[in-house]
Structure 1
Amino acid sequence: MSSDHEALKQASERLESLERELRRTREELYRLMALVDRGPATVFLWRIAPRWPVEYVSANISRFGYDPEEFRSGRISWAELIHPDDTPRLDAEITRAIQDGTHGLVLEYRIITRSGEVRWVEEHALGLLDEHHRLTHYQGIILDITARKRAEAALLAGKEELESRVAERTADLTRANEKLRREIAQRQRAMEALQLDETRLEALLDLNLMTEASVKEITHFAMEEAVRLTRSTLGYLAFVNESETVMTMHAWSERAMYDCLIAEKPLIYPVETTGLWGEAVRQRRPIITNGYQAPNPWKKGYPEGHVELRRHMNVPIMEGGRVVAVIGVANKETEYDDADVRQLRLLGTGMWRILERKRVVDALKENEERYRSLFAVEPDALVLLDAQTGQILEANDSACQLFGYELEEFLSLTALDISAEPEKTRAVMDGWQPGRTDKVPYRNSLRKDGTIFPTEIAIRHFELQGRRLLYAAYRDITARVRAEAEMEEAHERLLRAEIEKKQFYRQVIRAVTNNKLHLVDLAQIPVEGELVLETSFDDPESYRALRQRVQQAAITAGMPEENAADFMLAVSEAAANAIKHAKDGRCALYVTPERVIARVSDRGTGIHPENLPATILTPGFSTKVSLGMGYTLMLEVADEMWLTTGPTGTVVQLAKWIYPERHVKEPDLQMWNNL
């Protein structure tokens, strides 16, 4: 009896202990159910059967206008709430999950509330197995995501509108760029023409300086310059007699002499019987033949051994109404055109005038040295000066026309009177040295009417009969200066276009990310909070240490562990990019009462402006290998982000709220409208 009594007592005590444990469990269950009922998630348990009968649903199902008892009693099944347009899809997904034995489900669909309102929900369900390991139930939670869906719809609409505006702006920029390219091409052609003119003028200047050269040397030089100016390979120069009946070959280019295999090259060509070469004299105009091998009634053929011709052009040099010479070139890689005609005509005319002047100088023995010096520089605007007083001693008609004076009036002036920079002119006079030649690339000169215009001046210092003289050739370079200014203006327009494009990218990125990402300069990145961590990283070990310290610092600041892990992941992505694609990676961590801020910097080549939108907004996009999800992951995790990048490096600053529920951010529709 004593043992039975003791056993009964122990059983009674055990029963009381179980009752107390049951009460505690029931109280804990009630508290948990109350917490669930007040929370945002609706808890459910439904059986795998037609219409998905609900065996349990939390009381907060009332937010949709329904009573839990309606589901538990079977008066309403969960399938009746689902929007009819979503029912087929859900049936298919749940059936496939059951067939595959999938335990976890995440579903998005619409339900209809008691009042008839359509709401979007997100269901997270976990399958339950019976003792035979068969899937019998799904339990989980349902979240109302209507606000998120509306925000996504608004963001999608804004994105589509932005893409439309970007396309329009891109089309505008494309048209502007095309117009600018045409302008630049036009300026380039003008510059090339100007350079050719300068080359020709330099050739004429060199011709003028050939004061001691023979006629053969002068004509050979002119003919070789004609080949060079027209980018030809062959050239020749012939004089024409006064009756224009005979051409006398005076100079062949060196390449023509080398390539031609005719043993005895003729020098005299009757104009009447000469073939295509004589047409320039007979027709008294330039003749261009870009297809020399094609049939042509003017051709008479050429003897065996003659150099092969593919293209040919010759120009008559006119003087006093008659043809005095013919200058010809051949075998240019591209077709001859009017620009080539212009260069040959000007060069040939200049050469002929030089030759004529040489004959005059040779004939005027009394003034031989004076006039040889006078015409040893560019003939278009020539002035002979006294180096000590600056007095103008001689000038040609072109000089009088250039400065706007009659000759008698012009000879009463000094070099200082026609200079807009008299101090610099005086310095040239004071620096006189016999035999010296100066070239002043830019000097402002002064006309009679007070007009200031730019000139290039070639100056020769010489002494004649004990007198120090300066012989100056002035060249008006107004057109060249204007062309250079226009090129500079075009360059500035290009720079402004680049700045506008960069600013546009900033506005686009801010709008697309709902003002979350700020593409700024380094000085515009804010610094706030207490500095709790500052470290460098350049290898796997320091990288792992950085990850741990960032996550621990975020948790210490009060951030939930899950959010701290996300924040650590975003900072790790920024650090990984710095290690892989730059150097000198550093991380600084700041903490404020509301958020944790990480600044990751490096010294690399940065992101090119053209790649910024795709790099930041396209998941996995990279111009290099192994960037992973990159900036899209940082944007997903961070609540706010700043980025500055350039050829000296990149700085990424990420901020995340410690208490995100206090900082719910609505889409910035005004920004879309402004953009």
Structure 2
Amino acid sequence: MVKYWSSEVIIISKITTVSEYEKKRAEYYLPEDPDTIKKLEALHKVSPVISFIWKVDERWHVEWVSENITQLGYTPEDLMSGKINYADIIHPEDYVKINSEVKKLVKKGNTSYFTLVYRILSKSGEVRYVTERSLLKRDGNGNISRYQGIIIDNTEKEKAENTFRDLERKYRLIFERSPLGILCFDENGAIINCNSVCAKIIADPKSKINGLSVLKYVEEGPLKAAIDLVFLGESGRYEGEYISPAGKRSIIKAEFSPIMSEDGYLIGGLGLIQDVSDIQETAEKIHLNEARLEALLELYQRGNSSISEIAEFTIEEAVKLTHSQVGYLGLLKADNILEMYEWPTQKKNHDKKAWRCPVNSTGMWGEAIREREPIVNNNPSGSGLTKGIKPELEGKVNRYINVPVMDGDQVVAVAAVANKSQEYDSSDVRQITLLFDGMWKIIQRKFADEQILETRRILKVLESVINDSPAVVFMWSPEKDWPVKFVSKNIERFGYLVEDFLSGKMIYGDIIHPADLEKVRAQVGRCYKEGYSDFSQEYRILTRSGEVRWVDERTMIHHGQNGDIDFLQGIVVDITERKQANNFVRIEYDFDDVLSPGDNLQDIFEKILDFVLQIKAVDCGAIYLLDGSKGDLELIAYRGLSEKFADSIRYFGVNTIQARLFTTGYPVYKYFSEISAMIKEDFDYEGLQAMGFIPVHYNDKIVAAMILGSHRELEIPANSRNVIDTIASQLGMIVTRFKEGTLIKKDHGLQDLFDTMDDLIFIMDMGGLIIHTNHALQKYLQYSKKDLSKMDFLELFPPGKEKEVLESIDLEGLISGNSSRCYVPLMNSNHKFLSADTKFFVGKWGGREVLIGVSRLSLNESAN
């Protein structure tokens, strides 16, 4: 039988009409007897064998076919008429092969019979497998005249054989690819077959194993006994060590079963063998890992213990994990000295102090430090490893592991265990490394916790300092109107809470005075555009209560690696009092306009009170004029007080308690409850909390007095008192000048005020020559007062910047009462540049119109 891969072909035929059939029967000498013919026809109809006679041509034209071709859906006429050739019903994939095979047989010349297996197609398209058996009919000359044969439908047989072959292939795959070793042997113990897993366990090639006795591979003992049970018809089991003839050791689990015939005779045996060496090793590793994790857990629970207790506990656990007898730990100190701890098996002594030894003399422990990798020594030679380290160790250490404990690339400690009964291996190294790494993390955490506690203490102090400071610390996002990322708690001085900003309910732009918001936006945008690293600006903000406060903002711009702005960080300081003092100076500049022959002193006092009430914590006040002849004080103007209270304090005689408070010569600030107790009058209806009595002097003589108070604050703070003292000194000059009826100015009062300011102030005539400077400018620019006198103010700026400075000064606008800003840096006498924001405005000095410059240094410059 010839087969072509899976393409085994089938042939199908039909029978022609009865008349045609009769004709063919006569032509081919069919029996003449009608009964015989009927029997043959009946037999053909039920037989699976279909008979054919074919012409010798490429398409195998059918000359005759038995009537049972109808089993394939064709009629004899379909084929005998030539309408369908036999080649048409051969499966297309098999036709070429069949045709070629027949031609080969014909060419041989001595062939008269052949058998082929192939596929054919029924009329419905169903594929059927057939076996063809044909004779080659020859004429008188020996030439082949026709083919005569039969086809037998063996489709079911082919399907069964294919199924069997598939099952055989699958079972062979299972046999070969099984994770278990499989061993088959006959009733005499001869090995019939084994898979590759079994061959690997036995440590011999399959070709050598097959045919040998199964007992050749086992020695006397439990394993052989388990196999012997098979020959008694029983199953045997074994679990333990197996040593192959080649000496390979492994841990196996094996089950051996007898294979019995149907009549109960032993025909062989089957062995299933599993190498569990890796499983057992894994189980041991899991057990060791669990033990190490338990040790680490207990170690973490000892976080409050001392370093020596943590060290000795870790050493003890390392000794247990590796089945060693002794362990050591050396912490590497900054002076290249090892602080050594040990855990002897004989006893534990946590009070025992560590000993110290230099790394360069520590043969055993220094080895791992120098190599920066674990050292395993199962065959130490000589006593040099421990000599000079500790006398009692000499000669007592044989095999050992020495592991460096690393923190990044730095060796911070070295751990060692020694004197294990068996050799140390990589598993021991792993356990020691992981255990002591865990220990070091705990020690690091202990150090970190201590540092965190110290940092928290420092931060608490800093927080307290910041909260008590007048400077409010901010961190802003560089987005529109500056969302707040951080703000210090002392924002409460403006009535707001930290949560108001951090929750996103408010952004910083919400508290900037609406009249100043655009100016602030423009200033910040300009600093962004020009690449400033810091800037400062003054503007107004609104407190929660709606009060207007002046602030000085000093800000650093932080950029990311890509150059984009990450955030802004700065401080905001309340400068309302200073601003008020500056405003008062501006009033002095225009004093010639204020004091005219028709001036009313009450009007002047009321204007001064309006200004004074802008000082923080002061919300009411009164100004008295002293009667020089009597020494009495008479109320001239008041603000923020009820008319009833004003009537009660309208006049103080020379001998009253109130008058005496003024005549001390110094300001007196009291709780108002103390004042009420002193004068023994009930002023509770006024609701005052604090009050100050401020004498007003001129040339060391009292010329007037001020009472200033607060309804909301218990006392007037120190920074407000400084401003009040400055105003009082100026008020003395105003009163005296008014009484003398002269408009001559005394500039020394303003000079004193300027010298108390941190800003750099320089006053110029309208031609640009400097006529006065304050101490701050002389200090930062490192010039003497004499050097600066009559200097052109442009010399305070870097050479080449004169045009930029002059263009920033709008003189017409200054004369109209506006101010100009200049961002060109200043230059000191050593030609060092100082980043500054300079404001110019026009005022009066010594009775003449002058140009005034006020420079504010950046945060970095003022810090230096």
TM-score, length of structure 1 as denominator length: 0.42
Of Structure 1 and Structure 2, the greater helix share is in 1
Q: Which has the higher contact order (CA 8 A, sep 6+)?
A: 1
TM-score, length of structure 2 as denominator length: 0.34
- Greater Cα radius of gyration, structure 1 or 2: 2
